[in-house]
Homo-oligomer: A and B are copies of this chain.
């Protein structure tokens, strides 16, 4: 049923069979799954059967429906946000709210294809290094599939995520230091081959789950694509997968154009934004602390140059935001539209505001802003409040004031 035909190397352009390989056997380049354009052109968008991510199974790299693990991910709302648009200076703004996924983040989309691929290739162990959300997601989906999940999560991970991961898997470890310190060692052990890779660095099967964001946007907009899509950039999976899916829609004759991608990062971890501004290559940096823990990545590894290339090829933009700006827009989003997202999910908002203010994104552009995480698992200490005594007088004084 899948239209996948092979793994294409982004460097040497050779096509390899659909096996479990993490880099090109010829040149060690990164690879992506290629699909048959003729088959893709026959996908009946707008009239597809089935729910969630597996609705798009033809354009995902899993052959056997027995491996379609699911907890009801995907099919997240694309929300018209008129008050937020006004605050941004836009005529219209659509928010793709990924907090409605089963574990509250966009990660569920790629976790399902990672776990499904582990089953496809006969693995009973899968592992990930995470700042929190990816581990929370993998713990749940591996349990769902009945395989063993090894999760290495940053010690700074929010408590609700720690509780969740600990409940889902006994093979859960916290690590000191940031993501960049941990991922190199993890990848080298993954190469020894006994544990399936659910990391964001290389696995082409995992990344493809995030293509479904683009397909959903396309269907939810009535078989149209927007002018701009704003992506948060940690390792850049959402952008790489989303832009490729949009490109596939165009190549297959479903869409007329590809949206311009916008990279959103924290000022504390802004390597892609710096490269876009200077026009130069990506330079890894030591990151500072940011409230947006999901994008707290200073060394994007081999995917960094790919993110930069796609962004430039697709005429993209970028902007970085301070923690203050992220938290301000988090508050605006819920106060104006009732959407409660975590700081990682809100890193896209000040970036968009900045680019609109600068005139780089025109007022009348069609814009979809990804908000990739629920606010519900944030354990930031709330401001202190003094409880009322539960009396009629107290209620009356407040309600009838």
Contact = CB atoms under 8 A, between A and B. Distances in A.
Contact of A176 (B99, B336, B380, B390): B390
B398 A167 contact: no
Interface in A310-354: 330-331, 334-340
A312 B198 CA distance: 50
A97 interface: yes
A189 B393 CA distance: 9
B71 A339 contact: yes
Interface in A126-145: 127, 136, 139-145
Interface stretch (A55-63, A251-259, A291-299, A381-389): A381-389
A188 interface: yes
Interface residues of A, number: 90
A330 B388 contact: no
Interface stretch (A3-11, A205-213, A356-364, A371-379): A371-379
A395 B143 contact: no
Contacts of A335: 143, 167-168
Given A164-B376, A340-B103, A382-B166, A399 B72 contact: no
Interface string A104-144: 10000000000000000000010100000000100111111
Nearest 7 CB-CB pairings of A with B: A72-B77, A144-B338, A185-B392, A140-B338, A143-B338, A155-B387, A182-B390
Interface of A: 51-52, 70-72, 75-77, 79, 83, 97, 99-104, 125, 127, 136, 139-146, 150, 152, 155, 159-160, 162-164, 166-168, 171-177, 181-182, 184-186, 188-190, 192, 194-195, 330-331, 334-340, 374-383, 385-392, 394-396, 398-400
